[in-house]
Amino acid sequence: MNLPFKKNTDKVVGMRILPLCLLFLLFSCSISEKSVQDTELDVFYTEKTGEKIEDKSEIKIEERTAEKTEVVIEEKTTEKIEVRIEEKTTEKIETKIEEKTEVKTTDEAAERNSVTTGSIITEAEKKIVPVRLTKALTDSKLPRNISDKIKENFLQNDDFMDSLNAILYLDPYLRFLVDKEHPLGPNYEPDDLVQLKNGLYALNNHEVLMLRGIAVSSLEEMAAAARREGITLVVSYSYRSFARQNQSYSMHVRNMGQREADRVSARPGYSQHQLGLTIDFGSVSNDFARTAQGIWLSRNASQFGWSLSYPNGYETVTGYSWESWHYRYVGRELSEFIDKYFNGIQQYALRFLHEYENFSF
């Protein structure tokens, strides 16, 4: 056996293994250092990423919160808008309903009025009021000063038209034109006649005297006012039927002839007494004008709705000679209208109203 050869071999192997070990150690250290570095880098990036993640989360949270807030605001706004729309819509509907109701009420009132008065003032008619008014003023043959006064008032304000329209909605017989050209006819008889009785006023006739109820109420009020001043109103004549007026007129014709009779007495069917709204007071002569009763009535009757039908000096207008005792109940509104715009002349006002109501092109 050659032992030395073996020893040399071991040395050679040892020398060969040693570098490999060193390389292994170096490689291991490198890997460890790399791992440490990687770990440090991981920690670093994790921290940084964490900040960024937190930042991004905050942004996302803020964005989500903002979105939710916007959604809530939009929802609230939408709700408010919807509520406003509903409120506005409701208001409009209610307004329309009110307008429709008003129109319907007005139409119903006009329909009722057409039955009682025959007068309906429509929107179309309002547009032709100036033409209608001018024609009525011309056809009623009013004095120039009265016509001009009415036109001036019409241009300046609504007082005249307001009064006129109010009068047109009253009982038509309060303004019904009864004169020598406009008869009531033989069949007209009021259905609300009331028998007069002595009391606040005195009766100067043994016949049964009657008036329409609305006139009786005013007569009592007027008589009470006169009584407070120590004056008693005396009623001599009131309602006369067509037949009764025929008897009265025939008597006048026999006594004074037809020409003179036509100056002081109406033909049957053409008398204001047939309306049931007219009274002959006192002595039924023009001496009445100088009595306390006559003077009081001339000053106060219109305040209670009574108007002198045949004033002194207007025979060419009324068709009858002066009758200081002959008063017709026309109502307070029309009485005031007569005094304010027609110088207190009943015939002017009734003629104008007749032409205005019967307007046509």
Number of domains in the chain: 1
The dihedral through the CA atoms of 155, 157, 159, 165 has a sign that is: positive
The answer to whether position 43 is within a domain reads no
Sorted by sequence, the CB contacts under 8 Å of residue 345 that are 6+ apart come out as 311, 314, 317, 338
The answer to whether position 197 is within a domain reads yes
The answer to whether position 112 is within a domain reads no
Q: How far apart are CA 235 and CA 329, in angstroms?
A: 14
β 323-329/306-310 pair status: antiparallel
- Helix then strand then coil, in percent of the chain rounded to 5, is 65, 10, 25
Residue-wise pLDDT for 176-230, tens only, equals 999 999 999 899 999 999 999 999 999 998 889 999 999 999 999 999 999 999 9
User: Phi and psi at residue 154, in whole multiples of 5°?
Assistant: -60, -40
Domain residues for the domain of 246 are 128-357
Per-residue pLDDT of the chain (361 residues; tens, 9 = 90+): 444 434 444 444 444 555 454 545 554 544 444 444 444 434 333 333 444 434 444 444 445 444 554 444 444 444 544 434 344 433 443 333 344 334 333 344 334 333 344 445 566 666 788 899 999 999 999 999 999 999 999 989 889 999 999 999 999 999 999 999 999 989 999 999 999 999 999 999 888 999 999 999 999 999 999 999 999 999 999 999 999 999 999 999 999 999 999 999 999 999 999 999 999 999 999 999 999 999 999 999 999 999 999 999 999 999 999 999 999 999 999 999 999 999 999 999 999 999 999 988 6
The answer to whether position 104 is within a domain reads no
pTM above 0.75, yes or no: no
The answer to whether position 181 is within a domain reads yes
For position 171, which CATH number holds? Answer: 3.30.1380.10
The answer to whether position 348 is within a domain reads yes
The answer to whether position 51 is within a domain reads no
**Could you give the count of Cα atoms lying within 13 Å of 48 in the half-sphere of its Cβ?**
6
